[in-house]
Amino acid sequence: MNHKIAVVGLGYVGLPLAVEFGKHFSTTGFDINTDRIHELRSYKDRTREMSPDELKSSTNLVYTSEIDDLKECNTYIVTVPTPIDKFNRPDLTLLKKASETVGKVISRGDIVIYESTVYPGATEEDCVPVIEQTSGMRYNVDFFCGYSPERINPGDREHRVVNIKKVTSGSTAEIAQVVDNLYRTIIQAGTHLAPSIRVAEAAKVIENAQRDINIAFINELAMIFARMDIRTRDVLDAARTKWNFLGFEPGLVGGHCIGVDPYYLTHKAESLGYIPQIILAGRRLNDGMGRYVATQLIKMMVKKSHRITDTNILVLGITFKENCPDIRNSKVIDIIRQLDDFGCNYDVYDPFADPYEVKKEYGIDLITDENNLRSSYEGIMIAVAHAEFRNLNLNKIKAPDCVIYDVKNFITDADEYL
């Protein structure tokens, strides 16, 4: 098959994929955000995943926000976000809209490959009917599907799309092989061909559910050891001397993967009459960590006789992880809301995040320049381990008896660690 590829959605997942495919195939990157398209045409990536040189290296890639530009393509790869709503229920709105977009331009014999994280069955039960209704074509007769779950790790310069093994699948045995061969063109780490789309969907969703549960266990240990006045890091260092101990760290579990994907699995399980126990317990614990660490900081400040109401606290970091501008589902906001409930004054400093996006999403006026920080904070919460924070001179901004709480075990002289 002479692939002419369309990548629908140019975020953290879609853009790196489009760039790599654009080195080998005629590729069209599509996104409804016209500002994003203009930026990419100028070789600027706001996610910081791709450098200008990397964008320029993809000589067969063009960007567009016009649906008609997709009509010449024959292989559509959908990489739009799959978030949850305020009730922790899967929100497939963007996925269904992308499917409708594909349905408007698809031709007989074309292949649609989904990369967005979903619950097992969503591709064929939720997406395929939208394509059929929009296009008037029949699944596995006029068009075909594949599923190859994304494995992007934002901010990670070592594990890139080409050197992470890729799971592939297809709606028929023949199409599965076509999909697998397509990804083998760009994935240096190789591929794993799953026996069905549902298996590939399930494999993706349990990857992050497994991490979520393990982190929840370590977070619970951190709570226990705090009561014993034992530093969790010291315990973990000792435990890691055993060859088969799993090296998970305590912390905030946010973002658009680990903090979201387990709810897709539990939603599907509940629709089948099964109420998950361990998965939901892990989710509840991890969802409460922001409020927990904020309360721990306040307790320590009380012990040092600080007046909590109107006290000045600095929160370092608002993104969901280090060295990454992504603020989606950041659990740092839970820390901030808890501090607000205590009546504290807080500043949030993050040189990676976009101030406009932070204001729009969370209503917070972000500080992006350390020169705009106050000269004295009674409390400092290190919430995100951005590399730039290592150069921040905390002594210049600490008030007497300032309490430093380090969520990430980032510095050696904090007063308390998670």
So which residues are the catalytic ones? 257
- Tell me how crowded residue 231 is: count the other CB atoms within 10 A of its CB: 16
* Distance of alpha carbon 255 from alpha carbon 328, whole angstroms: 5
Amino acid letter for position 68: D
The CA-to-CA distance between both ends of the chain, in Å, stands at 53
Residue appearing with tokens 């269904």: 96
Question: What is the phi/psi pair of residue 354, to 5°?
Answer: -85, 120
Alpha-carbon torsion angle 103, 59, 20, 201, nearest 10: 0
CB 91 within 8 A of CB 82: yes
- Tell me how crowded residue 87 is: count the other CB atoms within 10 A of its CB: 7
* Distance of alpha carbon 3 from alpha carbon 357, whole angstroms: 36
Instruction: Give burial (CB, 10 Å; 0-12/13-18/19+) of 26.
Output: middle
- SS3 (DSSP) at 4: strand
Cα dist. 245→139, 233, 240 in Å? 46, 14, 6
Question: What is the phi/psi pair of residue 121, to 5°?
Answer: 105, -15
Amino acid letter for position 264: Y
- The sign one gets for the Cα dihedral 358, 362, 363, 365 is negative
Residue 362, C-beta contacts closer than 8 angstroms, at least 6 positions apart: 318, 327, 333, 336
